[in-house]
Amino acid sequence: MPPKISASEMSGNSGKKKDGASKKVGYPRFKPPFSIRCQILYQHEDQLMSPFVQIKALIKENQSSIRHNERELYSFSMVLQDNKEDIRIYEEHIRKLKQENIDYEEKIRDYEEYNTDCKEKVAKLEKIQKQIDEFEQKLNDRLRTEVEKAGLLSDWEEVEEDEETEKDCEPIWF
């Protein structure tokens, strides 16, 4: 701490030296290390504050802390309000996505039913095609038997050969 200025130097001329230059009067400003409470705890014996001044300083500091806390509380409440709005927006988005998911699940079920119906139809068509092939084979066998009975087997073989050569030939277009 800077030294205390004597009472004789403080009297008269409002703290001016005899040569007219200004001089600090009284104690220099005491800057509290952390707060008024710390200032009260760490004050020197020659700078003791009266209990009334200490209480007044503590009240002032508490009022300042209360105002600061109110500003912080307001700031946090604004952040909380923004967060609640964000949560509401996200919940709405989630609700829409869930509805879309339900719609897609319904479409998937419809497609699965359609796919099942198609598979059943394909199975029926394959069964019918198999029956047609068997019927054709029976007809061909019966026809061959009839041709053999009639003694026209050599003619039948020529017809089969002609069918094969017709497949090999392509029409020429002019």
Judged against a pLDDT cut of 80, whether residue 111 lies above it is answered with yes
Rounded CA-CA distance 1/45 in Å is: 12
pLDDT digits (tens, 9 = 90+) for 7-61: 444 444 444 455 555 545 444 454 444 566 666 666 655 566 677 777 888 888 8
pLDDT of 126 over the 80 cut: yes
158 belongs to a structural domain: yes
Instruction: Give the H/E segment covering residue 17.
Output: none
pLDDT of residue 1: 42
Give the confidence band of 76 by pLDDT, cuts at 50, 70, 90: very high
Q: Is residue 113 domain-resident? A: yes
C-alpha torsion angle, residues 26, 28, 34, 36 (rounded to 10) = 20
Q: Please report whether residue 14 resides in a domain.
A: no
Give the separation between CA 30 and CA 44, rounded to whole angstroms: 11
On the 0-12 / 13-18 / 19+ scale of CB atoms within 10 A, 105 is exposed
In a domain, 171, yes or no: no
Whether the CB-CB separation of 22 and 16 falls below 8 Å is answered with yes
Q: Tell me the pLDDT of the chain averaged across its residues.
A: 76
Its domain, for residue 94, covers 31-162
C-alpha dist (Å) from residue 116 to 102, 110, 112, 119, 120? 21, 10, 6, 5, 6
Nearest-angstrom CA–CA distance, 18 and 85: 70
Lowest mean pLDDT among 8-12, 35-39, 89-93, 125-129: 8-12
- What domain count does the chain have? 1
Give me the residues paired with residue 22 across strands: 16
**Tens-digit pLDDT profile for residues 136-160:** 999 988 888 887 787 766 655 665 6
d(CA 123, CA 8): 121
User: DSSP class of residue 160?
Assistant: H
